[in-house]
Amino acid sequence: MSRMNRQGFTLIELMVVIVIIGVLASLAIPRFTEASAKAKAAEAPRVMASYESAYLAAVAELPSEEVEAGIPIGDLVFEVPNDSKWWTYSGASKTTGDGEEAKTEDVPGQLDATAAEKGMGAMSAVVISTKFSSDDDCFEHKASGGVKDAKPEDAVKKMLPNFINKCEATKQWATTK
């Protein structure tokens, strides 16, 4: 009997390896996408924490009348980032009046972050806000917006579990908005 010299893999062996790689990739890609979205979402709470620190530093230096009225972002030692690819930051504003009498005013003491509409997973188009409550010297956190029928609170709880705080003022503010 003569022995065959085998040099290489058979077509069946190569096909099995390709199928195994495909199965592993199909399991890994969704996990990578979710981890990537969580990393992108984690930027906003860090920026908001910087804002809150700057706000608290100003609270310690200013008279209580100015603190109760709210401190505008421009008066803080804090610069709103404008180069983020995934979040848009702004001081909150409110519109008063209707038609030609409508005016937009800044809401002092509040910072909003709006997530990009694509690439953010469950956080897409969610707006998260932090607002200082002089009643109990606490920052209130809130989530709104989002895409489709998704609840922004659920997305924030999943992607940013430490953002939702236990401040009593948070419960009141979230229900009045």
State residue 168's pLDDT score. Answer: 61
Q: Residue by residue, what is the 3-state secondary structure of 72-113?
A: CHHHCCCCCCCCCCCEEEEEEEEEECCHHHCEEEEEEEEEEE
User: Dihedral of CA 69/74/75/76: which sign?
Assistant: positive
**What does the alpha-carbon distance between residue 174 and residue 141 come to, in Å, rounded to a whole number?**
8
Residue 150 has pLDDT above 80, yes or no: no
pLDDT tens-place string over residues 69-98: 888 888 888 888 889 999 999 886 666 667
Q: Which of 16-25, 38-47, 96-105, 155-164 has the lowest mean pLDDT?
A: 96-105
**What does the alpha-carbon distance between residue 114 and residue 144 come to, in Å, rounded to a whole number?**
9
**What does the alpha-carbon distance between residue 54 and residue 153 come to, in Å, rounded to a whole number?**
26
Average pLDDT over the chain reads 82
Domains of the chain as residue ranges with CATH:
35-176 (3.30.700)
State residue 170's pLDDT score. Answer: 47
State residue 87's pLDDT score. Answer: 93
pLDDT tens-place string over residues 24-68: 999 999 889 888 888 888 899 899 999 999 999 998 898 888 888
